[in-house]
Amino acid sequence: MRNAVFAVALGAAMVTGLWAQTSSRKTLDIYVADTEGGKAALYVTPSGETVLIDTGNPGPRDHDRIVAMIEQAGVKAIDHVILTHYHVDHVGGLPELAKRIPMRHFIDHGPTVEAKEQVAGFQETYAAIYKAAKHTVVKPGDRVPVAGLDWRIVTAGASALKTALPGGGQANAECATFVKKDAPVDENNQSVGSVVTFGQFKLIDLGDLMWNNEFDLVCPRNMVGNVDLYMVTHHGLDASGSPALIRGVRPRVAVMQNGTRKGGTPNTLQTLRSSPGFEDVWQLHWSYNALIEHNPPGVFIANGVDDLPAIAGVLAPPTAAPAPPAGGQGRGSAANAHSPAYWIKISAETNGTFTVTNSRNNFSRTYVKSAAR
């Protein structure tokens, strides 16, 4: 394990100049970890206050990557931990991570709605962890107290915001053609969703909120308004990411926490690119679901950009070859582990300008706030 941690840290050290945290920071910095189709994102404010949304899968693979990312950001403690819901790819890493770094405040939607936990005994373990800290069960409309940010909870416990945020409240034309999908009542429906505003910069992150629940947030009126950045819902699976949501909030940029074979579907990518004013999608992994036609150029992809022979072997394997392993499914498997693992970083300024950087290749792009938004 020591070698694995060293390899991840070494990869991070290659871009120390990009990521070093200093007392003179003026940006909101967001680090999006490679959890192979799970979720973990670290927010660091100009004052040094921190928020961690989800903790990835159980096991050393995601744990080591998240720890290396946190250390590279210069973070010594987590002020707020938001657990969007209790599926293994979102909360599996919490028990071990809580032993590694102090965590002061835990935020969730309340008890699980599923009879069988994906992480055995998690509710009991989690209660023991937050007993030693602060614990808040949130509802739509609540604020997370983060200095310098307007952090609003917009979904939680299968409910959505009823009062529009500043800039929201407009009728959403996409609602007229919305078609509901059959879906179970599970933890995904309960996802804690956030809208975060830093000056003129605004992002939305809805965890794994399901298609039908998105409707409640943006139809018949879009309660959120336009956003600059969309943290793609549910890893880019077709069960989420409705046109009503995406074309309603009209992001300029999207960051997708997908795996090589989890999420990143053609429908999601097509919907993003059809949204007015949309510019770029950044992905944690090249998606075999999206294939050649729908993945963005490699400079926007942090991990899993195979060479052409490897891609060809998966897309059209020889008849006698075994099926490729189903790695990156977000279920805690060690499949597709690689080192170093790269993250995506977003640095936002109060004037609405923000820069996204791929730590694999140091490629970055800056998006300047336009008067139209």
**What is the per-residue pLDDT across 37-80, written as a single tens digit (0 to 9) for each?**
999 999 999 999 999 999 999 999 999 999 999 999 999 999 99
Query: For residue 339, what pLDDT is reported?
Result: 78
**What is the per-residue pLDDT across 72-89, written as a single tens digit (0 to 9) for each?**
999 999 999 999 999 999
Look at the pTM and tell me if it is higher than 0.85: yes
- In single-letter form, the type of residue at position 103 comes to M
CATH superfamily assigned to domain 2-332+339-364: Ribonuclease Z/Hydroxyacylglutathione hydrolase-like (3.60.15.10)
Strand-pair partners of 204:
195, 230
Query: For residue 340, what pLDDT is reported?
Result: 86
pLDDT, greater one: 370 or 179: 179
What is residue 101's DSSP assignment? S
Name which of 54, 102, 56, 99 is nearest 75 in CA terms. Answer: 102
What does each C-alpha distance from 134 to 91, 104, 109, 128 come to in angstroms? 17, 6, 14, 12
Query: For residue 338, what pLDDT is reported?
Result: 75
Instruction: Give the residue-averaged pLDDT of 290-299.
Output: 93
Q: Please tell me the distance from the alpha carbon of residue 297 to that of residue 96, in angstroms, as a whole number.
A: 35
The contacts of residue 363 (CB under 8 Å, 6+ apart) are 299, 300, 357
